[in-house]
Structures are given as C-alpha cells and as structure tokens.
Structure 1
C-alpha cells in the first residue's frame, strides 16, 4: 500500500485535466469529500434523533476542538511520513469509524456517546488529513499545473457539496442514520485503492521559491540538523543545503520513506513556523488569507441568515443567495481548470480580495432577493478566484519539505480561527444591525487585499507556467 512509483518532477506537457494520474487523485479526493458530506448529514440526523437540540449541537461542534488543537501537529506528520501515506491512513480510520457506528446504530440504540466519540475521531483525523491533502497535489503533478489542479479541486468541492447533501438525505430516508453512515464509510473507502494507484512525483524545488524564503533558508540551515523542519523532515522532498544532485531530487529514494536523520516533532514544528515567518511571500500571504477569511466567514454564514430574516426573504430566498455564491465560486474554479494559469497572480489575488470585500459590504444594502443573488454570485466568483490563486501560490512558493506544515497553518487560519467570527458577527448584528456589521466585515476582508497589494514580493508573485 505504501510503495511509491517515482515520476520526474519536471513538466510533461500533459495538462492536469487530461493526466490519468491526476484524474485518479481527483476521483479519490472527490469520493472522500462526498463521503464527508454524507457523514455530516448522518451525524446531524442521528444526533437530533438521539438527544435534545442542544445536545445535537454539542455533538456537531465537538469535532472542531481536536481539529483546531492538533492541526499544526498534523502538518508535521504529513511532512515526516509523506502526504499519500497519511491520507490513505486517515481515510482507512474514517472509513472504519463510520462503518462501526453504522453497525452499532443498526443493531441497537446506543444514545449520543458513540456519535460524540465518532465526531472526536473525525476531528482528530481531520487535523492530520487536511495538511496531507494540501501537500499531495505537488506530488501528483508538475509545478506548472498546480494552479489548474487548484481549480479542479475547487470543482470537486462544489460537486461534493451539491451531491453529498441529497445523497445523504436519500440514505437517511431509505435506511435511517445507519444506512447514511454506511454509505459515507463506503464512499471514503473508494478513495483508498485510487490513491494507491496514483504515481508520486519527486517535487523539484524551484529557484524562485527558494529565493522567496530569503533569510529563512540560511537561518534554518542550522536547524536542519536539529529539528528538521530542517528540510530533512519531509520524506517526499529533497534536502536544500545538501549537494545539488540531492537537492534537485534527481536520484531520490521513495518519497514515503522516513528521513535518515533523527528529528523531533517539536523541532519540525518550530522550524516550519520560523520558515513561514521569514518567507517574503508566504508570511504576508498567510496574513492576507487570515484577514480575508475573518471578514468573509461571518457575513456569508450567520450574517446571511440574519439578513434574510430581517428582509423577509425566507429560507428559500437565502437558499437562492447561497446558490448564487456557489455558482460564482464554481465558475472561478472552472476558469482556473481551463486556463491553468493566470498571469500576475499576486496582483490578481489582491484586487480580487478587495473587489470581493466591496461586494460583501454591498450585500447588506441590495433591495431584493434577485439583486442579492447577483451580488452573491459576484462574491463567489471573486472569493473563489482569490482563494484558488492564494492556494496555488502556497503550493508553488513553499519548499516541498515544508508543504505539510505550510498547509496546516493555512488550514488552521481558515478552519480554526475564522469560524470564531460567526458568534461575534451574530452578537454584533444584534447590537448594531446588519449594515454596519457587513461593512465592518468587508473592511477586515479588504485589508487582506491591501496586504497582498502593498507587500512587493507577494504583489509580484507569479505562478509557474
């Protein structure tokens, strides 16, 4: 299962959307994401059936705690053991856990405790799974195709959101929560043989990406022998600072083998954080992502619900607005999938964040549902475009040895810290109304675009092509 076929890291001339190896990875990722969507439907339904609404809410929220606490450690694990091995192991654990709860619910009515335990297991595994998933594209395709892969990944997420909900609901209607958990486990299981068949590439370290680290590379050179963030920590990558033939991965060994040097996980984590902090592109990019997400998550989640209630749009009107956002985000993902690369990526991402922030602020002042759908479509298009470009820049700017930890920090910002803005947004809307809060959130989001445009190295960052 863990054996790896090594392919060259150079460009092949085959676009990612026509590459069978990338398509196998995409099929595995899509199956896993659809399984996740079905799992959340099953968990919410089973929790409501087994307990009170407050207890059901607690079960749904409990997975966020281990995910947030352990995410950075998950990035270290992804870099140490190789992202494919970690993703396969994570999917096996999630599959076994889902099928076990399905069997338990089928045989008896155990109450809430197995559901809460399952949520904790999924949250813990997600902390390892998400950084590994983020680090995997760089090992299944060439650097010049990573932007296209980000677009394909965005389309996969949209597909999972559209298909997973109705599929989970159908499974619940036919066989209850047990059938839905079983279906989720089987969908996640489908990803495992597909991932095993995917050929791994030895990612080449780009000269510009190395230069973008500035003093980080020199400063962390001494850390390589200690804590391994030190570039020896990534089993899939070469060791910068080693002889050139090794640094370029020309005669690399299997990516999933452990590094020869003994390192400590804490040293890996510290070196990874130092690497990001000193990197001339990644550090401001993380700040731009954080500000953009903090200003985006509140209004487009709890804020939209309160806005629809205030304007009398009802649940159906809110659904149409959310659909507009989904269509816009899907269009942005499709654009990157087809084009493969947009020039002046740093510039475009910054302006997209700024324009998207203006659209977020305008959403609170539109006169009716139809106009709100149009604005939401624009928000989705701009947010999807900036998000995909930021993700592609993370993939191409980061040294492969640090990619798991870089992805972990980005995921922690987006999935750990940004959701905290939801209760704050709800409380602020209760105190001041939707208009001021949407404008304030838009200003926070817009600061992300200001960072992207004011920091020279990030503004001038380009995607390979």
Structure 2
C-alpha cells in the first residue's frame, strides 16, 4: 500500500514544482522589467538582492533542512512566498513599482531560496528508492528545462497584458498549487536527523567536512564547479559575443542559445526513458567531455547553422552531465546530510559561475569571444578526463546494478 503511493506522490511533486518554476520564471522577468525602468544600476541591485542573501544563507538553509525536515522547510517557504507575491500584487496595483518595493521583494525571494533550494533538491531521494532515483532526477531535469523555456515568454505576455501585479497573481496560483502538493505528499521514510544538541553552526561545519573528505562527494563537487564555470557561461554569455563578432545578428545568437536548450531537452527524457549509465560516475565525466566537444565545434563554426548544431551537442553533454551528477550526489550523501550536501552543491555552482562569468567576460574583451570559448572547452575536457581518472568515481555504479 505504501509502495503504491510512492509513484503518484513523486509525480504530483514533480508536476507541482515544475509548474511553480514556470510561474517564478515569469515573475522574475516581470521583476527585471519593472526594475529596468529605474535604470541599469537599480536593475542590477534588484538582481543582486536575490543573489546575495541566497548565497550567504545557503549553508544555513541546508543545516535547517536536515534539522527540521525538508518537507517542513518547503511548506514554510511556500507559505511565505505565497504571502509575499500576494502582497506584491496588491502593492504594485496600489503604488506602482517603486524601487524600495522591488528591492524588498527581491530580498525576500533570495532569503527563502536559501532555505528552499537545499530542501527541494533533497526531495527526490526522500520520495523514491535509490534504484528509481536516476530516472526521477532525469524527469526533474527535463521538467525544469521546459519550465525555463516556457516561463520567459509567458512572463513577457503577462507583463504586456497585466503588468507586475497580474504576473504576481499568476505566480501566487503556482505557489498555492505546490503548497497543496507538499501538504499531501509525504516522504517514503523520514530521514534520520542530526541530534538536537548539535548547533546549526556545528551542523554546517559537519556538512562541509563530509563533502571535503568523502571520496565521492569531493570530486563530484569539483566536477560541478567545473561544469558551472565552463558550460553555463559559454552559451549564455559568450555565444552572443561570438555571434556579434561574426556579424550574425541577434536572431542567430538566440537560435544558438535555443540549440543548447534543445540538446538538454533531448538528453534528459532519453535518460528518463532508458536510465543513466550503470557506471554513473563514468556517465558524469563523459557528459562533460561531450559538452566540451560541442564547445570546440562552436569555436570553429563557419556559419550560424553549424553553431546551432554545436550548441545542441554542448547542450546534450550538459544534459547527460546533469542527469548523472544529481543522483550521484544524492546517493553518495548520508540520509542525515541530504539538505546540507544540496546546499553545498548549489553554493559551489553559484560561486564558480559568478567567478567564471567575470573572468570569461574580461577574457572575451581582451582576446575575443572565440578564445574564451576555447578556454571553456579545455576546462570541460580536462574536468571530464579528471573524472574518468578518479578511481572512486570511475568505479561508482547505480544502486541495484
């Protein structure tokens, strides 16, 4: 009876959280649009008001998720965000979009994210068995990509038709939906929690120590940092610069970015259908290497069509990497440290992305976008080879295989 409920619970949770991502993406576009009316500096401050508290509080959020339970943290976060977006809708309708209001709301979003992201990242492990985890993570990856692709166009339509207030109401509906799902869904088994006598600070230190010393988690986090630094900025930041330098125009740059999304969308459902490689550590490393091949092709592309095809290969490699690294980290983490390991995973990715974006932007200005993309390809290739050379990762197999 209990086993029969697992699959519907997973499916409802997956549908609810992906729907919420669509609403969030639409609202973020509306928020950025409203902030841009106050000038570029204010728009940057609003985005920073989301990123800064999220980054600073992530490790605390992971410790809280392990101490009090991921489901409880998610329900609390959904309640807070539902109240916040409803307040934003009323305030925007009454006062318009003053800068102080946008900054205040962005700070709330970043703070809630710091606690919510580690909790939701650990939920697949709590909802399905280790054998089902790789396919569940692949479905989550595919759903997240679809949500990202749908959210921005939806946000543009909503902003044009209903402004920030109307977009906030739509996002409130998505938070209400995921809140209802979280109230209904319960984990297969409650994970063992750290002792109450342990302080949150000690819990954070324990999580960092585990990740730094574990033979699987340590290289997995390093590969995640390499992927964030080498793969994410390559298409989002550098491909428009490459298109501009080649005289291809903004349409081609958009199609290159779309090609990456298509590649991810092709890889994730395939992994969900067939399952990842039995040697899941090898699959993680090969995904990075495949993405590096795509980036190398992007640097050599003589025309937009070739660049789009190369971006699809890079996206497919990114998708393969994501579909393997997620279950690898979740399976490798102890039950008592699931949220803390997820917070470290997010933190490592965020810091690597921030540093790499600025360094690669400087390099693109100094030596050209093509040279910067070559650096990304080399980084991905080196990381893939290092992963294959890691004995713990190379020997790691899926649960049950």
Which bin holds the TM-score, normalised by the shorter protein? over 0.9
Report what 2:217 is aligned to: 282
Q: Distance in 2 between matches of 1:280 and 1:37?
A: 36
Residue 450 (structure 1) shift: 2.2
SS at structure 1 position matched to 2:198? coil
| 1:106-185 alignment runs, 5 A limit | 106-109=93-96, 111-185=98-172
Please say if 1:332 is aligned against 2:247: no
Q: Deviations over 1:323-362 (max 9, x none)?
A: 1111110111101211234211111221221231132133
Is contact 1:27-1:194 (8 Å) kept? no
Unaligned runs of 5+ in 2: none
Q: Distance in 2 between matches of 1:79 and 1:277?
A: 18
**Bigger radius of gyration:** 1
2:381 to 440, 443, 446: 446
SS at structure 1 position matched to 2:231? helix
Q: Deviations over 1:25-83 (max 9, x none)?
A: 1112112211210111110121123x112212221232111111111111101111111
Please say if 1:359 is aligned against 2:286: no
Q: Deviations over 1:146-180 (max 9, x none)?
A: 10111111111122112212221221121111111
Aligned residue pairs total 400
Residue 199 (structure 1) shift: 2.6
Q: Deviations over 1:235-260 (max 9, x none)?
A: x323xxxxxxxxxxxxxxxxxxx766
| 1:9-408 alignment runs, 5 A limit | 19-49=7-37, 51-109=38-96, 111-202=98-189, 236-238=190-192, 261-408=196-343
Q: Deviations over 1:101-126 (max 9, x none)?
A: 11111012351101011111111111
* Residues 442, 451 of structure 1: alpha-carbon distance in 2 compared, 3 angstrom cutoff: same
Is contact 2:294-2:312 (8 Å) kept? no
Q: Distance in 2 between matches of 1:460 and 1:89?
A: 40
SS at structure 1 position matched to 2:132? helix
Q: Deviations over 1:399-421 (max 9, x none)?
A: 11111111111101112331321
More helix by share: 2
Report what 2:359 is aligned to: 424
Tell me the C-alpha RMSD between the 2 structures: 1.8
Is contact 2:127-2:188 (8 Å) kept? yes
Deviation larger for 64-73 or 355-364? 355-364
* Residues 259, 450 of structure 1: alpha-carbon distance in 2 compared, 3 angstrom cutoff: closer
Unaligned runs of 5+ in 1: 1-5, 203-235, 239-257
SS at structure 2 position matched to 1:144? coil
Provide the TM-score with structure 1 as the length reference.
0.83
Residue 137 (structure 1) shift: 0.8
Residue 372 (structure 1) shift: 0.7
Q: Distance in 2 between matches of 1:110 and 1:339?
A: 48
Q: Distance in 2 between matches of 1:305 and 1:21?
A: 41
SS at structure 2 position matched to 1:200? coil
Is contact 1:145-1:340 (8 Å) kept? no
Please say if 1:414 is aligned against 2:321: no
* Residues 351, 260 of structure 1: alpha-carbon distance in 2 compared, 3 angstrom cutoff: closer
Provide the TM-score with structure 2 as the length reference.
0.95
Question: Which runs of at least 4 in structure 1 moved beyond 4 Å after TM superposition?
Answer: none
Q: Distance in 1 between matches of 2:100 and 2:246?
A: 40
Q: Distance in 2 between matches of 1:157 and 1:32?
A: 10
SS at structure 2 position matched to 1:316? helix
Is contact 1:63-1:124 (8 Å) kept? yes
